[in-house]
Amino acid sequence: MTLRYVLAVLALAGATFAGPEVTELKVEVESVPEGCTTKTKINDMLTMHYTGTLDDGHKFDSRLVDADNFKRNCVFI
């Protein structure tokens, strides 16, 4: 009986804390340098200006005005 109670509580907790399902990722490219033929490679260090916004327009992160731009050691394809 106790095991059933614990399992029911865990199932409800999992349903409560589950986030919304992500259905789409939108990436906008605002500019591409003319004549740039350089492609990223594995372990390249990338620096970029970045603004993250939600569908309602709320900005949750921005690296447009920071002196320390968004820098990551990653691969973009």
For residue 76, which of 48, 50, 52, 41 has the smallest C-alpha distance? Answer: 41
Would you say residue 9 has pLDDT above 70?
Answer: no
Spatial separation of the C-alpha atoms in residues 67 and 15, rounded to whole Å = 41
Q: How far is CA 9 from the centre of its chain?
A: 31
- Which region among 12-21, 51-60, 67-76 has the lowest average model confidence (pLDDT)? 67-76
Q: pLDDT tens, 19-41?
A: 667 678 777 777 777 887 888 88
Spatial separation of the C-alpha atoms in residues 77 and 65, rounded to whole Å = 26
Provide the β-strand partners of residue 30: none
Q: For 24, which DSSP code? A: -
Confidence band of 76 (pLDDT split at 50, 70, 90): low
Which single residue is written with the structure tokens 């399902």? 21
